[in-house]
Amino acid sequence: MRILFISPNRLRLVVPPLPLGLASVVAAVQDEHEVRVLDFMFAADPLEQVRRAVAEFAPEIIALSVRNIDNQDSRNPESFIGEIKNLVNLLRKLSAAPIVVGGAGFSIMPRQFMEYLGADFGIAGEGEGAFREFLAALEGSRDWETVSGLVWRDGEDWRLNPVQRVADLKSLPPPALEYFTPDLYQEAVGSAKLPGMAPVQTRRGCPMKCIYCTTPLLEGRLFRSWEPAQVASWLAAWH
């Protein structure tokens, strides 16, 4: 299938964050499907980029990753949810392909997001295995109850299936950073005026109960990690 992945985040809080979560999902499906990725972070005209990509690529699935709900500034709050809805509305006009929403921001309140955005499906939680399950169901039985973390319309209600936690992180392929032009992220400066960076995740899950942090909600409280040698090999390859 032809899958168009979109990272609409443009927030450069502290440092511009390369979309590591979306890169991980892309890596999980790129060998079996034809993929194209749009990253809004450095795009001069993101919506024109979307129009051109849809016309040229003719996607059969469109997947949006919502990283940030707002700018995390209580003094000058700015919400990004309206921008995501406008993007969904534009995609509806451009393509008949199903729209799937995921990402860390989405996973905090998936049902509310689906009600507001009007997308076709959502995937809450870790997406590498869940998105593969969704694609298999879409091409086969369409038994949505079998897809981990899927948010789907059942009559008048949005249903949320149990969220998947990847038990063995070592089985995952390395994130496909090459789709996101990591050189640009390394050269860009964020709000902290620090040099850019390429993110590396060494573990998931946290047993702490910090009231301000969403990590236990998104990744669970069970600590899971990659082997140090595996992380070191990524560092060497990406460098």
**Dist. CA 167–CA 184, nearest whole Å:** 33
User: Roughly what angle, to the nearest 10 degrees, separates helices 127-139 and 20-29?
Assistant: 40
Answer whether 22's CB lies under 8 Å from 65's CB: yes
Per the CATH hierarchy, to which homologous superfamily does domain 2-160 belong? Cobalamin-binding domain (3.40.50.280)
> From first to last of its 239 residues, what are the pLDDT tens digits of the chain?
999 999 999 988 888 889 999 999 999 999 999 999 999 999 999 999 999 999 999 999 999 999 999 988 889 899 999 999 999 999 999 999 999 999 999 999 999 999 999 999 999 999 999 999 999 999 998 999 999 999 999 988 999 999 989 999 999 999 999 999 888 888 888 878 877 778 899 999 999 999 989 999 999 999 999 999 999 999 998 88
Report how far residue 137's alpha carbon sits from residue 133's, in angstroms, rounded to the nearest whole number.
6
Q: pTM of the full predicted structure?
A: 0.94
CB atoms within 10 A of CB 71: 15
Other beta carbons within 10 angstroms of residue 165's beta carbon come to: 17
> What is residue 193's predicted lDDT score, i.e. its pLDDT?
82
Burial of 87 (0-12, 13-18, 19+ CB in 10 A): buried
Residue tagged 């707002």 (tokens): 70
DSSP tag of 166: -
